[in-house]
């Protein structure tokens, strides 16, 4: 929220009083430097994440598909995220997030017709629940958006799930379309979990991932995405249906 008018100003003006400022990605460090905080005063430390729960030898994506009634051969694009309601227009909201849901579910839904034009049997699985008082209402709006776009038969809202490693294994492509994030835990988890179509070779990335180009997410996924996409024919089919800048 360094990009929010009030919060950003307060943070930048008080930063010199800190012994060190910790930025969780390079983009955040850049914002501090643009605000005249000396670069040597800002340390970049990525969030740590225990990926042991995402051990592919223990994940069972087939079970999740059976439970959700998804055919084994059907291509699946999945997104795991809370439905955060749109942010208000006030000095505490970054300008690019005003009236937007920060997780970008609307961006994903608008891309669905493009993918279906190339892969008609693709299914989009949105895993999560509404966050806070406005979350449930926003989720309902997204469901209506799917109906308005004529893609409701290709979009599944599963609600909250506690078996995220298994759920990730059920995806052919994992999507993270957040509009503002410093370091995506979900993207890291997707990298740790192999595609159900492709075993994870030693030293390679996890499941094929598509992410918005925000902050650290693009940096952390850039190298592994090229390897992952090369290894999944199903993933290539689906991603070919979207524009590179979508």
Q: What is the pLDDT along the chain (246 residues), one digit of tens a residue?
A: 799 999 999 999 999 999 999 998 888 999 999 999 999 999 999 877 777 777 777 889 999 999 999 999 999 999 999 999 999 999 999 999 999 999 999 999 999 999 999 999 999 999 999 999 899 999 999 999 999 999 999 999 999 999 998 999 999 999 988 988 765 555 555 554 555 544 443 333 356 788 877 755 554 444 444 443 333 444 444 444 444 333
CA–CA dist 87, 201 (Å, integer) = 41
Packing angle of the helix pair 215-230, 185-192 (nearest 10 deg): 20
DSSP code, position 130: B
CA–CA dist 47, 89 (Å, integer) = 29
Q: What is the pTM of this model?
A: 0.78
Give exposure, 227-242, as e/b (b: 16+ Cβ within 10 Å): ebbebbebbebbbebb
**Residues linked to residue 98 through DSSP beta bridges, in sequence order:** 87
Give exposure, 85-113, as e/b (b: 16+ Cβ within 10 Å): bbbeeeeebbeebeebbbbbbbbbbebbe
Q: Is the dihedral of CA 64, 67, 72, 73 positive or negative?
A: negative
Residue 176 φ/ψ region, left for φ over 0, alpha for ψ in the -120 to 50 degree band, beta for the rest: beta
Q: Is the dihedral of CA 130, 135, 136, 140 positive or negative?
A: negative
């Amino acid at each position: 929220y360094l990009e929010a008018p009030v919060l950003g100003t307060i943070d930048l003006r008080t930063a010199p009083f800190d012994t060190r400022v910790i930025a969780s990605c390079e983009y955040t460090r850049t914002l501090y430097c643009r605000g005249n905080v000396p670069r040597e005063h800002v340390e970049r430390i990525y969030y740590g994440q225990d990926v042991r729960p995402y051990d592919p030898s223990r994940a069972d994506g087939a079970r999740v598909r059976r439970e959700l009634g998804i055919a084994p051969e059907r291509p699946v694009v999945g997104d795991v995220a809370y439905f955060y309601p749109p942010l208000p227009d006030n000095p505490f909201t970054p300008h690019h997030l005003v009236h937007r849901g920060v997780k970008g579910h609307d961006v994903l839904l608008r891309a669905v017709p493009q993918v279906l034009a190339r892969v008609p049997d693709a299914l989009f699985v949105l895993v999560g629940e509404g966050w806070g008082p406005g979350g449930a209402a926003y989720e309902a709006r997204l469901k209506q958006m799917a109906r308005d776009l004529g893609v409701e038969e290709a979009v599944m809202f599963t609600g909250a799930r506690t078996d995220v490693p298994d759920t990730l294994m059920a995806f052919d492509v994992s999507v993270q379309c957040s509009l503002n994030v410093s370091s995506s835990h979900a993207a890291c988890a997707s990298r740790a979990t192999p595609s159900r179509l492709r075993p994870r070779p030693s030293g390679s990335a996890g499941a094929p991932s598509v992410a918005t180009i925000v902050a650290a997410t693009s940096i952390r996924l850039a190298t592994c995405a090229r390897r992952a996409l090369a290894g999944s024919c199903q993933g290539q089919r689906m991603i070919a249906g979207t524009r590179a800048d979508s």
